[in-house]
Every structure is written in C-alpha cells, then in structure tokens.
Amino acid sequence: LETAMKEQQARTKVAVRHLPPSLSEAVFQDQIAGKYAGAYTWWSYHPGKNSHKRQVYSRAYINFKKPEDVIDFYEDFNGHVFVNERGAQYKALVEYAPYQRVPKPRSKKDVR
Amino acid sequence: PERSARVSKVRPPLHQYIRKLLFADLDKTTIERVLRQLRKLPWSECETYLLKCFMKVYKGKYSQVHLIASLTAGLSRYHDAFAVSVVDEVLEAIRVGLELNEYGMQQRRIAYMRFLGELYSYRLIDSPVIFDTLYLIIFFGHGTSEQDVLDPPEDCFRLRMVITLLETCGQFFDRGSSKRRLDRFLLYFQRYVLSKGVIPLDVEFDLQDLFADLRPKMVRYATYDEANQALLELEEVDRNLAASEKDRSSRPLNPSTQGDGEAHVNNPGSEYVKDAQNIGAAPLGTRASGIHGAGLADDADSESETE
C-alpha cells in the first residue's frame, strides 16, 4: 500500500493519446525535444495504424523526472493540434498513465 | 465478374513460429516450454510483433487468457519493458473500447477485462489499477453530450465488463483496504445497475451470482433512489472523516500525516474516476493534498467532464 501511496503522491508517467496514426516516433520526439529533452527518464512510443477498417491513434508514454514537469508538459501539449501530411488535424490528449509503473532500468540479462 | 483469388498473408518464418507457439502449442502442460522458447527469441527484432500477438488474446479460447497473463509475468523478469507495454496496451484497449462502444468489438472487450483481471492475479498490477478501471467503466462519458451514444440506458454491456473483471479477480479483495474499496465500488455499481432500464435475464443472473460470491451479506437496493441515498450518506461520512483528518494533520508534530493508509482508503470513488479520466479537469496542484481528502467534496457525478 505504501508504494501505491507514493505513486498517488507523485505520479510521473504520462500518456499522450490521440496522436496522428502516421506520426512517427522521431517526428514526435523532435516536437517535444526542445523543452523536455533532459526531463524524462523513460519513453515508449506506440505507433498507430491507418486502415480502412479502423484507424488507431499513435500514443506515447513518457516518464518525467519531476511531478512538476508533468504539469508543464500538460499545459504545453494537452489539446495541442498535430497535423498529418494530408492536413487532417489531431488534438492530443495528455493524461496520467493509468498504469504508473515503468520498466526497471536494467532487467536481468537473460542467459536463456 | 472476375475476381482475383484471395491472397493469403505470407508471414516471415519468425512470426509464424511465434504464432505457432502462442496460438497452437500453448496450454497448461506446455507453458513452461513455450516460455523458454519465447525467451530464446531475438527480442530486438520481434518484441513489437510479440506484443501484437499477446493482444490477440481474444482470438484464443477464453480459458487460455490466464496462460497469456502467466507468460507476461514470466517474461517480466527478463523483459520488464515488455510486461509494462502489455499492461499499458490492455488499459488503452479498454479505454478505446469505451470511447468507440462498437458492437463488433464486444467479444474482445470482454476478453480484455478477463486479461486485466488475470494480470492482477499474476501480480503485474496492483489493486488501485483495477479500481480505477472499474470506476472508469461506470462513469466514462457520463454527463457529456455523448452519453447517449457511449452508454445509452438500454445498453448493458458495461455491466458485463464489470462482472467479468470482478469474476476474474474480485475474490482477492477480501481483506484490508482493498476489501473496503470493493465494498465502496459495489455501492456505486449498484446505483449504476439501477440506472439501467430492463436488464436481460442472463445479466441479472450473473449479477446475482457475483454478489453471492463476493458479498453475500451486502444489501441489494431495489431502486435507484435508495442506492443513491446510501451513497450520499457514505459521501457525507467521508467528508466528515476528511475534515477531522485535516484537523489532525494540520496540528504540528503529528507524525501520521504521511503514508497513512487510512487516508488513502477514505478517498471516494470519484478520486479514481478523476484520475482515470483526465488530469485536466481536476487542477493538478491539488493532487498531492488529495490523499488527505481535499478532493472529497467532489461529487462522483461531476467527474465526467471531458475535454
């Protein structure tokens, strides 16, 4: 419980949702690099998919060093409009990630 | 009219092998071997594909879901990032399901509820994640203009989602703070159930079974107003507790203001909903004080503001 409490107090993992399906990790990273380059410890990008059946948004998870950075980041990027190559607009959502755990810095090397 | 023959998808051998392991070989007698084989894969090339396959849990037998959860746990020791991605992905899938509410996705949405419950059983997630999800399910989209699309009164699908998740892992919430959290959630859930119109018989039976299994002595309210009244009283008690808690913690030299388990338990469901929905509606600054009940005045129904 105590660890859960600590997480409640200082949540640092953020989910950025509803990004353009075709947005590449590199381009997204470029967008946020300027201000937040050294501010996060971990980062995971899940590219979306454009298919005729259903489009899947791209999504990023970012773990910030400091809870205060989350607030800055939220103010900068929540509702930020990303435009894809065809001019379609996507309004990004910034939220606390529902699952706050980030991978341990170095998992055991699997000797297999 | 002429039609070209359907071209079957050609998958690289590595992908074929992964699919064979997960979709053909995997059962409770082979799981150890499958896990060893997965560990031997060239992870840098196939991690993304493996994640994709793990998210196809809905394609296998329903009874196999726990095997995939078990594999996730087994792999987390060496590939922690993979396990984290699986959980992130499942929670996202559940959220997207709520956002779209598509009929054709129902089967997989049920499978994801089961998967999440099994991930809890295998200790990859802790109980707050489960409760956040439960509150998200009963509140998402409420109070917005989209409510009639996302969760119309005659739509009982969210009931099935909650039932499935609690069938899978509800029995673990039988002591301590998680017991109290489940008691509280079931009250909100009862009110939610009563906000629905006629409930199909099979869902009604599943509900009866669920309450009989988890909380046989719990009062089942007959009307929405009764359940609502009970919740209002509970929230009132919370507010008083929170106020006295604040008194206590504002006194100097009180050592119990940090890491006090009780304070956390006093959070109403609304706290979870807020967490799960967005961080914008609630001012971020109050988050830290939230554990002492600063957020308690919020009514659960007001938590559905969406961006």
What does each C-alpha distance from B127 to A5, A38, B80, B133, B240 come to in angstroms?
12, 32, 19, 10, 26
- For residue B34, the model assigns a pLDDT of 97
Question: Is A4's pLDDT higher than 60?
Answer: no
For B39, what's the count of Cα atoms within 13 Å in the CB-facing half-sphere?
20
Nearest to B133 by CA among B103, B107, B168: B168
Q: Which helix (H) or strand (E) holds A45?
A: strand A40-46
How many CB pairs lie under 8 A apart between chains A and B? Answer: 96
Residues of A in contact with B133 (CB under 8 A): 98
Please indicate if any CB of chain A lies within 8 Å of the CB of B92: yes
What does each C-alpha distance from B237 to A20, A29, B234, B282 come to in angstroms?
45, 47, 5, 22
Third-level CATH fold of A14-86:
Alpha-Beta Plaits (3.30.70)
Cβ–Cβ gap A5/B278 under 8 Å: no
B130, A98 in Cβ contact below 8 A? no
- For chain B, list the domains and their CATH numbers: 13-125 (1.25.40.180), 140-248+261-307 (no CATH)
B221 CB-near residues (< 8 Å, 6+ apart): B190, B191, B194, B227, B230
Least CB–CB distance from B40: residue in A2, A79, A112: A112
Cβ–Cβ gap A4/B128 under 8 Å: yes
Q: Best of A7, A49, A96, A99 to disrupt the B interface by mutation (most B CBs within 10 Å)?
A: A99
What does each C-alpha distance from B262 to A1, B7, B209, B294, B297 come to in angstroms?
10, 61, 31, 14, 18
Over residues B27-38, the pLDDT tens digits come to 999 999 999 999
Lowest mean pLDDT among A1-10, A60-69, A86-95, B235-244: A1-10
Over residues B205-222, the pLDDT tens digits come to 999 999 999 999 999 999
Model ipTM?
Answer: 0.89
Please tell me the distance from the alpha carbon of residue B177 to that of residue A3, in angstroms, as a whole number. 14
Please indicate if any CB of chain B lies within 8 Å of the CB of A89: no
- For residue B271, the model assigns a pLDDT of 41
Nearest to B54 by CA among B121, B111, B125: B111
Cβ–Cβ gap A109/B290 under 8 Å: no
CA dihedral A7, A9, A13, A14 (to 10 degrees): 140
Helix (H, G, I), strand (E, B) or coil at B305: coil
Please tell me the distance from the alpha carbon of residue B168 to that of residue B115, in angstroms, as a whole number. 9
- For residue B1, the model assigns a pLDDT of 66
Q: Nearest residue of A to residue B275 by CA position?
A: A96
DSSP notation for A74-92? HHHHTTPEEE-TTS-EEE-
Nearest to A92 by CA among A71, A69, A75: A75
Please indicate if any CB of chain A lies within 8 Å of the CB of B282: no
A100, A13 in Cβ contact below 8 A? yes
What residues in chain B have per-residue pLDDT under 70?
1, 249-307
Over residues B80-113, the pLDDT tens digits come to 999 999 999 999 999 999 999 999 999 999 999 9
Cβ–Cβ gap B128/A8 under 8 Å: yes
Please tell me the distance from the alpha carbon of residue B111 to that of residue B94, in angstroms, as a whole number. 10
What is the reported pTM?
0.83
Helix (H, G, I), strand (E, B) or coil at A41: strand
Q: Which of residues 55-84 of A touch B (CB under 8 A)?
A: 59, 61, 70-71, 74, 78-79
- For residue A47, the model assigns a pLDDT of 94
Cβ–Cβ gap B280/A2 under 8 Å: no
Query: Using alpha carbons only, what angle is made at residue A19 by residues A16 and A23, rounded to the nearest 5 degrees?
Result: 120
Cβ–Cβ gap A4/B291 under 8 Å: no
Cβ–Cβ gap A99/B125 under 8 Å: yes
Least CB–CB distance from B132: residue in A5, A98, A107: A98
Q: Nearest residue of A to residue B91 by CA position?
A: A98
Residues of B in contact with A61 (CB under 8 A): 88
Torsion sign across C-alpha atoms B253, B255, B258, B261:
negative
Please indicate if any CB of chain B lies within 8 Å of the CB of A13: no
